[in-house]
Each structure stands twice: as structure tokens, then as C-alpha cells.
Structure 1
Amino acid sequence: MASIDFTPDGDMDIPAGAERAWREGLIVLATLSATDLRYGWFAYQIDFKVGGHAFLSATREPLVDIMFTLAYTLQELRAGGSAEIDFTENSYVIHLELAGDRVRFTSSHRAPAVPPECPFDDYAAAVRAFVASGIACLVENRPALAENPVLDELRALVSNPPGGGTGNQE
């Protein structure tokens, strides 16, 4: 089983260097680029567990970046059978590998002796739920984000592919 959660933190919504400009109306959330939203805005505690192993536990990461990264892993698993979750600020990498209809998770640090795994459909459902709850939280707390096309891009990334499943149907 995979579980992915976050804890909103209003104190970390806006990067320190941008707070004054945002308050003065010089930064408009509806027009911020994906890059801006991914690297610095909305840094929340993220928890990511598979089979009882915590790959991320109360790790503070930009929520939009984690949502995009996880959404891309779904596409990469479908297309090539493997994916990575990596972090700009350190060398930690979580490796995902599709084995039949299951996803096996390993990491570059503190990897368990037996790699945890879960059904692809469970992982995909956890990613979709995480992205949906992340978008809902952001829009509820910062309504101007509802107009930002970056959120539509995220929604499209996690929408079901034609035929559903992993794309590796035999």
C-alpha cells in the first residue's frame, strides 16, 4: 500500500524573498509559471510511505514540485517501466520499477533489505488523490491559483490514460 500526504503550513506558502512583492500585488499567483510554483512556493511537510517504509517523512518540499514529480512517475512507469523521484537540493533518489502489475520502490539512502512494493493501480490512485487534495488545498487557501493554468496541467498529467492501467497490458 502506498500513502502520500502533506501538511499545509501557511508560514511556508510564500518564499521569503517574494513575500513583500506578493503583498504589494507585484506577484500574481494566477500567472506564476510552473517553474516558479515548483521551486519555492508552498513548501509543506510531505509523507510518502510504501509498505510501511517511509521514503519521505515530514520532509519539507514544495508541494507543486512533488505533485508534478509524482505525476510524471506515472507516465514514466507506463512508458518505460521505471521512474525516479529525485531532489534538486540533495542526492536522495527514490527508484520505481514496474514488475508485472506491481511497483517496486528502492532508494539511494536508508533502503530496506526487501524493497517495498504495491500494485501499480494502488500507487496511481495514491498519486491522483495526493494531486487532487494538493490542488484543492492550494485553491482553497489561495483562490487566485484557481486561474493558474499550471493546475490544469497537473490535472491532465494524472488523468487516466486511454484504456487505463499501466499501458503494459499483454
Structure 2
Amino acid sequence: MRIDYTPDSRRDIDPGWAQAWQAGRVDLAALTATDLRYGFFEYPVTLTIEDHAFLSTSHVPLIDIMFSLGNSLQNLHKHGSAQIDFTENTYVISLELAGNQVQFTSTRGVLAPAPSCSLDAYTSEVRSFISNGLEYLEAQYPTLAQNPAMSELRALAGL
């Protein structure tokens, strides 16, 4: 299992925010989680399970995918199932716990057998992805570390 992203500074800001960003009127510490999830840091993200690419360098908002992965981790541990969904489209990746294995299916077709990985591997990879994403974003934009959404992400991932 592998989850990764590639930073792309040209996609740090949604065009709808561009003027305010350039004028210095955007305070990353004060933006809502919703604003951060939908308007910033749209990077290529890959999600591969058993050589099946559920995401293959799809441009998604990094903070949004981190929240979705963090929530999926919480739901897997509490309910045995979860979903990874995306704000920009209707694509959904469903996760189902079968013993100690997490099985993955998606709205883009059924694979038989469903790709899977251990719950421990999924937990470790999600935590690493979120930790690395937060570290990168906060190094690039230090005021972002003051945003409550970053603490919320850490809590979701158990960091």
C-alpha cells in the first residue's frame, strides 16, 4: 500500500482566492477548515493498493484528502468500514475491514478479488501521509500551523 503526493506550488491557491492571496489578505491561520479543504494546495496524489491505482496522480486538495483519510481511519477502527470521498467529484473508495485486512473497492469498477492490505499497514501509511503533508505545508506556510484545522488533522490521525 502506498499513499503519496507531489507538491506543486503553482496549485497552492485556487483561482477564486488568487486576488486576495496576492494582496496579502489571506490569513492561513484564520481560514476555516472548509476553505482550506476546497481552495488550497491541490496536488497530484497517488493511492495504490496491491499495484491497483485508486488514485493515479489525481489533483486533489491535499488538506481535503488528509481529512478524508483521517476520517476513514477513525471509522475503520470504530465501525469496521469507511469511505474516502472527494469534494471535486463523486468518486468514492470504500474500505471494509475483514479480519485484520482492509479491502478496497471503488465506484469506478469492481475488482475481484478486492485489493487489500493489513489494518496496521493502512494505519501506518495514513498517519505517515498526514504527518508528512502537515510538515510540508507548515514548513512552506508557517502561519498555517496556527490554524485549528491542523490540530484537528493531527487528532484524526492520532499524531
TM range (shorter): over 0.9
**Separation in 2, partners of 1:148, 1:90:** 26
Counterpart-to-counterpart distance in 2, 1:68 and 1:134: 11
Q: Please list every run of 5 or more consecutive structure 1 residues that lacks an aligned counterpart in the other structure.
A: 161-170
Q: How does 1:106-125 map to 2 (within 5 A)?
A: 106-125=105-124
Instruction: Give the whole-Å Cα distance in 1 for the aligned partners of 2:152 and 2:102.
Output: 24
Q: Deviations over 1:121-147 (max 9, x none)?
A: 100000000000100110111122121
- The aligned residue for residue 152 of structure 2 is 153
In structure 2, stretches of 5+ residues that fail to align are none
After superposition, the C-alpha distances for 1:59-109 in whole angstroms (9 at most, x for unaligned) are 000000000000000111111111111223322111100011110001111
| Superposed counterparts of 1:84-163, under 5 Å | 84-159=83-158
Task: Give me the whole-angstrom Cα distance separating, in 2, the residues matched to 1:112 and 1:63.
Answer: 26
Residue number in structure 2 paired with 1:6 = 5
Once the two structures are TM-superposed, the CA of residue 25 in structure 1 deviates from its matched residue by 2.0
**Aligned-partner Cα distance in 1 for 2:34–2:96:** 27
Tell me the TM-score normalized by structure 1: 0.90
Q: Share of identical aligned residues, percent?
A: 50
Aligned residues: 159
C-alpha distance in 2, partners of 1:110/1:99?
A: 20
Q: Secondary structure at the match of 2:96?
A: strand
3-state SS of 2:132 partner? helix
- The answer to whether structure 1 residue 32 and structure 2 residue 38 are counterparts is no
TM-superposition CA deviations, 1:21-45 (whole Å, max 9, x none): 1222211011111000001210000
